Structure 1
């Protein structure tokens, strides 16, 4: 969740949505994203809307956060009314959600269930830093209804973790993954980052090998992005560290795809691999396939029926709005049919299932033909009417999507 909020039209104090947004509610999957904006320290590369204790200031409290978030869930129920669908997925992100006591996270989940009802087999995920969980906390989360955990591993090399300002020791993430399995978690993900200044190919292979050996059923691997305003960006600007190299990142991606494929993980989104269809992150698939979701928490983004809105950024402002019984929405936008079509293309083309060729605008057909001829699109699915990226296409996905959009 980026720290900067875009402009948009005002959100009504009641949070009410246009009738057009509520039409068809329940026909699409519906989920909740719960943003927990607290961190012990700020990682040097992080641009998310997070706050350490020193940055939080007056008017916001970690101790009160669960009840504040629960109040927004109740607001969501009032806004969506009797047509409110059951919840297919819940995702607690941050920040570090597991800085809250497990009982607080379970409390928020229970309010979601009380107000909306969790669908049978609902996926409930929390992100966690490896050092922020213990076997006892994991067991409490699992008993409270959490089914999936996503651990920020990033790397197993100490010098890489140091550049990223990560606090955990190199082996802690793998140990936490095993502890989550022992606690009964059905699905465990490890998040990795490649392309950090000072990382070598061997460093990256060692990280992948350690992640695979830990036995998660899902692995995410992301190229490092240097965001303006971060400590990492400042260090690169001063010449203390070299900037990430696109060619190096491409090589690291190829290494990841090869090693993960050999270990039984199949890609289903450009940065995500799973051991089985059941191991795929259904909450993220909800985003990528045009579902609806309500984002709870400061800076959280929501989307219902073509209306997208985002909450006020600071936890104190968020808590003040909620205490007053008002929507914490900062601004919103109503997407046009063309906006939604472009977003579907941008998101679905990143998936292994691809995007229907007949939904690509006629003006982009020459670009489609070039992509096929250049080996960026798989000819098999193409003949069946879908645009699906090849491995080479995945490396050049951003440029291809721009051409087709």
Structure 2
């Protein structure tokens, strides 16, 4: 696969994945088209034959794996993970607010969003609805308006002369999308608006009433390739759908893959404490079903490697002093090894060394990042996964600018570099992953 092909596929994947639910749905479709069989978490997996499989939880997280032979104690799993969620605005349960003949939609800030860029953007709405059908159990399905339905207008400079010098944002009062005009002070039925979209997206729904929803606003502007030489990519949700897409493509396009597993967790941006997060039981449960004997499972995880894939900070040309001077990742210079003395990242010299060898074999450049001592460091699913299952782990990601903004920027080559490295990792021979202390 060439860089241009990767970028085209990435753009389509992100455009079709405005929420974690949509990202998992699109991942399922790619996996199914490439021979992966769907497993039901509620069904028995006894007698699982060698092959490629995937399973979802809450339809917002996914685990896929390829087994070349039945599980055995000497097996090595090439494991890699990312997360499906991104910082955004989540709709409140009773969201409609009428003020000065304007109808707004109340939201909660999901994750550590950079809020300033959310003003004056065309916002669309997508997510999951749960409804009561005419008969039978409750059902759920996805909707996506796919067009601008709201905006958060800025206050004019004439009314806030300090806006360019000293602007603060009140999450409760200032970040409230404007969606409708009120007529005769009659508040519309929000559920009726959702039902209209449901009828378009799921024509056979037979819903009698909307029971509840998980809805998120997102930037309606599509991804773009920018720069005089088209060297930059800009889009919402690069953190961390770019990593998800690279994992899915590597899982489906690797020639002669070995035993591997990919993990796409939800709720990383809010701390990973959920049934679908890295602090939940999803991965542990799948491993227990593949390797029921605890000692057997420990032998497998101890000889395996987990690559935690989440975006890294590229050096910003306007703010170079915000970075550690000897560790300045650049766009289009390859994936970044992330390290932290206080275990905010799970990399160590052995796992980092293994990753460098994988990059060398794939002929892909690699960079390194550490945070300044006087600044707080973020984290990933890496340390959480390492602690939960005891697997040696390395934290990596492609360099990016404006992380957690409504629109982020990456290099046009780095996603392709990442997919090449992951593909090489998934077909790496077992002996190349062995570690030995001397």
Which TM-score tier does this pair reach, normalised by the shorter chain? under 0.3
- Greater C-alpha radius of gyration: 2
Q: Scaled by the length of structure 2, what TM-score is found? A: 0.22
Q: Scaled by the length of structure 1, what TM-score is found? A: 0.24
Instruction: With a CA cutoff of 8 Å and minimum separation of 6, indicate the structure with the bigger relative contact order.
Output: 2
Structure having the higher strand fraction is: 2
